[in-house]
A and B are shown apart, each in its own frame.
Chain A
Amino acid sequence: MDKVKEMLSELHSVCADPRAQLDAALARGRKAVGVLPYFCPEELVYAAGMLPFGLWGAEMQTSLSGRYYPAFTCSLLHTALEMGLRGQLAGLSAIMVPLCCDSLKCFGPNWKYGVGTVPVIDVAWAQNRKTEAGEEFTRARFRRVLGRLEEISGKTVSDGEIAEAVALYNENRAALRAFSAAAAAHPEAVSPLQRCEAMKAGYFMDRAAHTAKLRALTEALCSLPESPRRGLRIVTTGILADSPALLGILEDAGCTVADDQVAQESGFFRTDTPVTADPVVGLARRLGLAEGCSVLFDPGKERGRELVKLAKAAGADGVLWVMAKFCDPEEFDYVPVRRMLEEAGIPLLAVEYDQQTASFEQARSAIEAFAEMLRG
């Protein structure tokens, strides 16, 4: 158990100070590229010898970003821009910005105007992601992204190097899936927050190092005796569910995260990149295969069906939707997905969250009441 605690503590430290990871990479002479959510082809950054550095915002108050974004923009982008404007992301050689929601489409121009010193790489992918034409469009755009990365890194990237990066990322995804299952089986050893941090750390570390750490952690977890504790099993969904306060409330209410459909968590590891002759085709195809995220074009709302399936497979007592405040795609998904859960008889609680939230008492009441309701 001590070994598990020690490793979880190390991963916590990574999340508590991501800047230290960035500084360490820069000190070693490795360039770094900021990667905004969602579905950016990080593998291309890695293949170009640079560190992909996740930009998922931060729990902070903003003052400068309000010059560029209205108040009703999601806090993830407000705080990511704020960090750039305050110089907290200095050292990045570029940032990758996917153009998959209205607020993200404005991020690049806002960044260029406000930050200026760090170039922006726009990452466009096809909305009609499952069609052959869509895949070809995405492939072509990813090739263009690769070109920009080659200019920034000063290195020509071979297809072999991309394929190696794809394999390394797929290994990381497999390690994350194994860890997720082990953490759900051992709630006495891994709290909801620790589970989240172990996953989130991968956005700031070298993926190979993250894989090694996760494998060791999973092995240590699997060697523990079977857990006698049976709290409430919850599946989380949303964009982000990394708030220490919110996850602490979940733990206090006796809940375990049995699985998730959170963009920051399984949104990264649920779907592998297919191995293809042209590895960039595989990266484009992954977008067509992925499900369960509100920014993906999903006319049949597979997200809801996937969530029902996940909740049933995990033996979940209920679903917690951590609703990102001012996130239109999430709010559009809410009604059809809620109906699908209702039809399947799966209780749902939605709790609104943004990274500037200072008081969680209302969320505490809602989560505690939800837990009491589930216990009957």
Chain B
Amino acid sequence: MADILTMGMDVGSTTSKCLILRGGKDIAASALIPAGTGTSGPRRALEEALEKAGLKREDMVCVTATGYGRATFPGADYTVSELSCHALGAHALDGEAKTVIDIGGQDAKALCLGPEGKLLRFLMNDKCAAGTGRFLEVMARVLEKDVSDLAEMDALAAGMTPISSTCTVFAESEVISQLAKGADLCDLVKGIHRSVAVRTASLMHRLGVEAPVAMTGGVARNAGVVRALEKELGTPIRVSPLAQLAGALGAAIYGWRKQGERE
């Protein structure tokens, strides 16, 4: 068990993440491709991770698929919901985390963790894309910016232009109106981040927030959203550099545990 290799493949709505784990603990390689389910992203992520590790797929004892596109990922030995995988992954990254917020491309989830990353309860956002990575992408497009620029713009904001609506379509109209009025772009970005934070905090309060709080998923890379959420919740949020890989990591751990059960 100490040297066995397990692969976790997180096929998200906008990105594909692949992670190879040795002995259920050490990350041998990982890859992240900004293309999600239904694209070449999953295959490319798998190939890149294998190449980085100098391994072949046959070297994997098992492959566990998770994420929005888990059911269509070919050849997976196990398919597991992304909620369970993010719980396992978040626990592996931060063993003290009690509450996890995972904001991905298409949805947001609040998770309450028990011992060993066991999922005790959870809540998902409703079907609306507001408060998700997709929301930020739409807003970035309106501002003619890349989504990766938003965190830095937020840090440069002198004030904040509030975006009251949490509906993606209405918020887009609101941002356009603010642009027409000549609002400062950085202040607008700060307002957009606050809008995401307010929506996310409401989801977390419904679940019950117990510190320490950790954040996973692609949006965790956006320090502006993290700061806004910390302010809303009144508690620090821990973000691992591997936060976006938490689902894939959890999937690989799941596979490793399954192998343990079999042996």
B237 proximal to A (CB < 8 A): no
B107 proximal to A (CB < 8 A): yes
Cross-interface CB contact of B84 among A347, A361, A362, A369, cutoff 8 Å? A369
Q: Which residue of A lies closest to B37 (CB)?
A: A361
Give the residues from 360 to 376 in chain A that come closer than 8 angstroms, CB to CB, to chain B: 361-362, 365-366, 368-369, 372-373, 376
Which applies to chain A's interface (DSSP): helix, strand, loop or mixed?
helix
Q: Which residue of A lies closest to B118 (CB)?
A: A376
Interchain CB contact under 8 A, B119 and A366: no
Interchain CB contact under 8 A, B127 and A372: no
A352 proximal to B (CB < 8 A): yes
Given contacts A361-B68, A362-B107, contact A372 B124 (CB under 8 A): no
Whole-angstrom CA separation of A368 from B79 in the bound complex? 10
Q: How far is the CB of A155 from chain B (nearest CB, A)?
A: 49
Contacts of B84 in A (CB 8 A): 369, 372-373
B122 proximal to A (CB < 8 A): yes
Interchain CB contact under 8 A, B80 and A365: no
Interchain CB contact under 8 A, A362 and B124: yes
B205 proximal to A (CB < 8 A): no
Whole-angstrom CA separation of A366 from B127 in the bound complex? 12
Give the residues from 326 to 376 in chain A that come closer than 8 angstroms, CB to CB, to chain B: 347, 352, 361-362, 365-366, 368-369, 372-373, 376
Contacts of B126 in A (CB 8 A): 352
Whole-angstrom CA separation of A373 from B122 in the bound complex? 9
Q: How far is the CB of A30 from chain B (nearest CB, A)?
A: 42
Whole-angstrom CA separation of A372 from B88 in the bound complex? 12
Most buried by B among A366, A368, A373: A373
Cross-interface CB contact of A372 among B68, B80, B107, B120, cutoff 8 Å? B80
Number of interface residues of B (CB under 8 A): 15
Q: How far is the CB of B11 from chain A (nearest CB, A)?
A: 12
Whole-angstrom CA separation of A368 from B122 in the bound complex? 12
Give the residues from 48 to 94 in chain B that come closer than 8 angstroms, CB to CB, to chain A: 68, 80-84
Interchain CB contact under 8 A, A369 and B119: yes
Whole-angstrom CA separation of A373 from B107 in the bound complex? 19
Interchain CB contact under 8 A, A365 and B82: yes
Whole-angstrom CA separation of A168 from B83 in the bound complex? 48
Interchain CB contact under 8 A, A373 and B120: yes
Whole-angstrom CA separation of A166 from B66 in the bound complex? 53
Interchain CB contact under 8 A, B81 and A365: yes
Interface string of B119-161 (1 = CB under 8 A from A): 1111010110000000000000000000000000000000000
Interchain CB contact under 8 A, A365 and B121: no
Q: How far is the CB of A328 from chain B (nearest CB, A)?
A: 16
Interchain CB contact under 8 A, B121 and A347: yes
Whole-angstrom CA separation of A315 from B68 in the bound complex? 32
Q: Which residue of B lies closest to A372 (CB)?
A: B84
Whole-angstrom CA separation of A366 from B126 in the bound complex? 11
Given contacts A352-B126, A361-B68, A366-B124, contact A372 B81 (CB under 8 A): yes
Q: How far is the CB of B134 from chain A (nearest CB, A)?
A: 13
Most buried by B among A361, A369, A376: A369
Contacts of B81 in A (CB 8 A): 365, 368-369, 372
Whole-angstrom CA separation of A372 from B83 in the bound complex? 9
Interchain CB contact under 8 A, B119 and A362: no
Whole-angstrom CA separation of A352 from B122 in the bound complex? 15
Q: How far is the CB of B162 from chain A (nearest CB, A)?
A: 25
Q: Which residue of A lies closest to B120 (CB)?
A: A373
Contacts of B121 in A (CB 8 A): 347, 373
Interchain CB contact under 8 A, A362 and B83: no
Cross-interface CB contact of A369 among B68, B118, B122, cutoff 8 Å? B122
Given contacts A352-B126, A362-B107, A362-B127, contact A372 B82 (CB under 8 A): no
Contacts of A368 in B (CB 8 A): 80-81
Q: Which residue of A lies closest to B79 (CB)?
A: A368
Contacts of A372 in B (CB 8 A): 80-81, 83-84, 119
Interface string of A29-50 (1 = CB under 8 A from B): 0000000000000000000000
Q: Which residue of A lies closest to B83 (CB)?
A: A369
Q: How far is the CB of A371 from chain B (nearest CB, A)?
A: 8
Give the residues from 79 to 118 in chain B that come closer than 8 angstroms, CB to CB, to chain A: 80-84, 107, 118
Whole-angstrom CA separation of A362 from B68 in the bound complex? 8
Whole-angstrom CA separation of A294 from B246 in the bound complex? 40
Q: Which residue of B lies closest to A252 (CB)?
A: B71
Contacts of B82 in A (CB 8 A): 365, 369
Whole-angstrom CA separation of A361 from B106 in the bound complex? 11
Q: Which residue of A lies closest to B119 (CB)?
A: A373
Interchain CB contact under 8 A, A365 and B124: yes
Contacts of A376 in B (CB 8 A): 118
Whole-angstrom CA separation of A365 from B12 in the bound complex? 12
Contacts of A373 in B (CB 8 A): 84, 118-122
Whole-angstrom CA separation of A368 from B67 in the bound complex? 12
Q: How far is the CB of A179 from chain B (nearest CB, A)?
A: 32
Interface pairs A-B: 6 shortest CB-CB: A369-B83, A369-B81, A368-B81, A372-B84, A373-B119, A365-B81
Q: List 17 A-B contacts (CB under 8 A).
A: A347-B121, A352-B126, A361-B68, A362-B107, A362-B127, A365-B68, A365-B81, A365-B83, A366-B83, A366-B122, A366-B124, A368-B80, A369-B81, A369-B82, A369-B83, A373-B119, A373-B120
Given A372-B84, A373-B122; 12 other pairs, CB 8 A cutoff: A347-B121, A361-B68, A362-B124, A365-B81, A366-B83, A366-B122, A368-B80, A369-B81, A369-B84, A369-B119, A372-B81, A373-B120
